[in-house]
Amino acid sequence: MKLRISLIQMSVDSRNPDANLKKAAEMLEEASKLSPDVIVLPELWITGYCDDLKEAWIYTNSADELLKAFASSHSCFIFGGTLPSLENGNLYNECRVYSPEGLVGIYRKIHLIPLLNEHRIFTPGSFLGVFDFLGLRWGTVICYDIRFPELMRELVKLGAEIIVIPAEWPESRIEHWKTLLRARAIENQVFIAACNAVSPDQSLGGNSMVIDPWGEPEGILGKSEGILCCEINVEKVGEVRKKLPVLDDLVS
């Protein structure tokens, strides 16, 4: 079974959510020209880490409407990066997954990064991100989550074959990004689709990529805004796990 996955590596301006929304709409249209089955956006693409995320969440409804309508009109699935989501007075860094029929489900970032004082802004999530569509089980984690291998291992134990990662990863730690993504793919024998952002001040590192279960890149972007579309053969997950059955030797 083959699938096309498109990653939208957009330049996020934390001072201008309206411009971010317009740009996302334009890049979604551009990505659709290659008829992807799944499209992925980066973390906090509509607001960035702006000065007052607790106020900026008001833009979430506009972003939600855009993504829901696009998935419906273009018959595709969308991992909507992340959006600030307010519930019962708590703000979450939330990934929403859309199908042509509507919302599939959500995942809220569990590990909040101290360097950005995320814990002062967001409430950590409390459940795993696992979704079933296109005949596959998908998992998702968000940015800093990738530094915690046990989280992604839990997704694999639940049957995930492709793990999608929206991020706003900095240029200053971009080599960690590259190494961690390959490690997570290799140790779990899954596809990784990791969508990072870039920024006008070049503080975000880009390098969005799709990695196969053997740890080899299927495609990678540089440090500029762009769209990566990769066609992957999902059967490679089973082939790699049969060739090197690491997961059969887990010790509980």
Write the pLDDT tens digit of every residue in 64-108.
999 999 999 999 999 999 999 999 999 999 999 999 999 999 999
pTM equals 0.96
Give the model's pLDDT for residue 58.
83
**Tens-digit pLDDT profile for residues 98-139:** 999 999 999 999 999 999 889 999 999 999 999 999 999 999
**Tens-digit pLDDT profile for residues 186-220:** 999 999 999 999 998 889 999 999 999 999 999 99
Q: pLDDT class for 49, splitting at 50, 70, 90?
A: confident
- Number of neighbours of residue 99 by Cβ within 10 angstroms: 18
- Written in H, E and C, the secondary structure of 172-233 is HHHHHHHHHHHHHHHHHCCEEEEECCECCCCCECCCCEEECCCCCEEEECCCCCEEEEEEEE
Burial class (CB in 10 A: 0-12, 13-18, 19+), 97: buried
CA distance 179 to 183: 6
CA distance 62 to 44: 13
Give, to the nearest 10 degrees, the angle between helix 174-188 and helix 149-157.
Answer: 30
The chain-wide mean pLDDT, for the chain, equals 96
230 is catalytic: no
Percentage of the chain exceeding pLDDT 90: 88
Longest dimension (CA), the chain: 51
Give the model's pLDDT for residue 14.
86
236 is catalytic: no
CB distance 14 to 47 below 8 Å: yes
CA distance 113 to 66: 28
43 is catalytic: yes
Q: pLDDT class for 15, splitting at 50, 70, 90?
A: confident
Domain boundaries, the chain: 2-249
CA distance 24 to 4: 19
pLDDT (average), residues 145-167? 98
CATH class for the domain made up of 2-249: alpha beta
- Residue of 50, 76, 95, 143 marked catalytic: 143
Q: What is the CA radius of gyration of the chain?
A: 17
Using the predicted structure, report yes or no on whether residue 252 has a pLDDT greater than 80. no
- Residue of 68, 76, 94, 109 marked catalytic: 109
Give the model's pLDDT for residue 52.
72
Structure tokens at 125: 């999530």
Give the model's pLDDT for residue 42.
99
Give the model's pLDDT for residue 51.
66
